[in-house]
Structure 1
C-alpha cells in the first residue's frame, strides 16, 4: 500500500492548483486510516491537504464536499473544501486531492473523554443529526418512504429559537445516489466532524 512518502512530492503542485504557494515541507498527518493527509504551510495559511484513496468514487467525494458546505451554511463549524480558480474542490493529479483550512485541536484517545467533554460532544452530535434530518436528500427519502406507507413525512422538530432541536440518534445511511450515502456516513461520523483534530473534520 502506498505511503505518505509516495505523494509528498506532489504537494507543491496540488496547492498551486488552488492558488497557494507552499512555504515548507509537507508534514504527514498519520491519524487518518483511509486517506493520505498532510499539513502544509502556505502563503494563505496552514492547510490540510488530502489525497483520497483510489477506490473512493468521485461522486461520493463531491457529495461529501457538498454536504460539508451545506452544514457550514447552517452554522456548523466545519472547514469547507477550498476551490480552484475554476471553482473545483477536487483536482486530479496521480489521484484525487482536496485542500481545507487547518483546524487546531487534539486527537483524544478512545475512552479518554471526560464527562464534560462527552456532554459537549453529545450536544454537538445531536445538533448535527437534527440538521441532517432536514437535508434535501434525507427529506426526499423520508417522503418516498412515507408515500410507500400511505403516510406523510414530518419536518425535524424545532427548538424554542426555531432552529433544529438537539436530539440523539443515528441518521443512518441510505437514499438515492452517492451523495445520499455521504449524508448517512456523515450522520454516523458527525462527532468527528465537530471534535476536529489536526485537520478538517474527520481525519480518516
Structure 2
C-alpha cells in the first residue's frame, strides 16, 4: 500500500481551493507504488492525482522533476505534468509534505506484457529520449554505479539472511560489472524506472508514462537496459516469452536506432541494472518493519536476472 500520509477531507478541500479545478467530490488512496502517498481525486472539474512526496524524494529535486515533465508534455509525450495553482505554483505543502496535483492519465498497467505492448513501450521510451535531447537541467543518478558498492556495504552480511551466499554473489557480480562499465555513450535525462506498472496502456497503445521520481542524467542505453530487465522477465525473475524482450528493443530502435557501441554495452548495462534493483530491494527487505503497510519486493528476483544476463551475453545481438 502506498498511502503513508493521511489527508483529511477538510485539508484536501482547502488544498484544492488554491486551484481552478472545482470542488472536491471524492478521494481514494492508491495502493500501487512504494515511494510516495498517492490519492485519486475527483472534483466537479475532473479527475486528478494528488501526490505527497515521502522520505525518498527530496524536496530540492522536485523542480527538476516538474521541469522534466513539463518539457516532455510540451513535446507531446504522454506524461502527467503537475497542475499549477492560481499563482502559477506547481509544488505545494500538504500535511507537512511537499505535494503536487497532477494530471490524470487514462489506461492500465499490464502484468504480463505481450510483444505488441512491449514494442509500443520501447518506442515510447525512445521518443522520450529524443524529446530530452535539448533538456538542459541535470540531476545525478543517486542509485548509479558509484552508489552500488556503498549500498552493498550497508547491507553487509545481512544479505546472507535473505539467501546463503548472497553477499559474495553480489560482490562478484558487481566487481565484474564495474570493471566493464562503458564510457563515452550518449547521455541524457532518463526515466530509470520504466517497469510495466509505470506504463499505462489501452490495448497495445501507450497512454501514459508515469512515476518519474528516479529520473536522472545518465547513459541513455542504460535506461533501455533497465526497461528490458523489467519487461523481459516474469515477476519472480524467470525469463518471459523471448519475443517480449526482442519487441521492446525493436520498438526502441524504430524511433531511435542504437549505435554499435550502445548495442555492445547492453549486456553489462543490463547486469548493472539488475544489481541496482537487487541491492535496493535487499535494503528494503532488511529494513522494512514486518508490520509496515508496504509489500516488500523479492531481491532474489533480480539476482536471477543477473545470472540470466551473465549466461546469455548475446541476448541483445
TM-score, shorter chain, exceeding 0.5: yes
Deviation of 1:23 (Å)? 3.7
Q: Give 5+ residue unaligned stretches, structure 1.
A: 139-169, 174-182
Q: Residues of 1 paired with 2:123 and 2:110: CA distance?
A: 18
* CA–CA separation in structure 1 for the residues paired with 2:196 and 2:132: 15
Cα distance change on mapping 1:199 and 1:49 into 2, 3 Å: farther
Q: How many residues align?
A: 160
Alpha-carbon spacing, 1:41–1:199, altered in 2? closer, same or farther (3 Å):
farther
In structure 2, the partner of 1:196 is: 200
- 1:83 has 2:84 as partner: yes
**Structure 2 matches for 1:25-174, cutoff 5 A?**
25-93=26-94, 94-109=96-111, 112-137=112-137
- RCO higher in 1 or 2 (8 Å CA, sep ≥ 6)? 1
* Whole-Å separation in 1 of the counterparts to 2:17 and 2:50: 12
> Is the 2:53–2:97 Cα contact (8 Å) retained in structure 1?
yes
Q: So what's the TM-score if we normalise by structure 2?
A: 0.44
Q: Secondary structure at the match of 1:6?
A: coil
Secondary structure, in 3 states, of the residue corresponding to 1:37?
Answer: strand
Query: Following the alignment from structure 1 to structure 2, what is the Cα–Cα distance between the partners of residues 203 and 64?
Result: 7
Equivalent residues of 1:101, 1:200 under 8 A apart? no
User: CA 1:32 to 1:193, structure 2 compared with 1: closer, same or farther past 3 Å?
Assistant: closer
1:37-87 Cα shifts (integer Å, max 9, x gaps): 011111220111111114522221111011100111112122221011111
User: Structure 1 length normalisation: TM-score?
Assistant: 0.66
When you count helix as a share of all residues, which structure comes out higher?
Answer: 2
Alpha-carbon distance in structure 1 between the residues aligned to 2:110 and 2:198: 13
Question: 1:49 touches 1:97 (CA, 8 Å); kept in 2?
Answer: yes
Secondary structure of the 2:25 match is coil
Partner of 1:56: helix, strand, or coil? coil
Structure 2 gap segments, 5+ residues each: 139-184, 202-206, 214-317
Q: 1:4 to 1:119 in 2, by over 3 A?
A: same
Q: How far apart in 1 are the matches of 2:200 and 2:47?
A: 15
Within 2, Cα distance between the matches of 1:12 and 1:199? Answer: 27
In the other structure, the counterpart of 2:290 is none
Distance 2:118 2:209 in 1: 20
Residue 20 of structure 1 deviates from its aligned partner by: 3.2
Alpha-carbon shift at residue 189 of structure 1 (Å): 3.3
- Over 3 Å counting, the alpha-carbon distance change for 1:64 and 1:171 in structure 2 is farther
Whether the 8 Å contact between 1:125 and 1:191 is mirrored in structure 2 is no
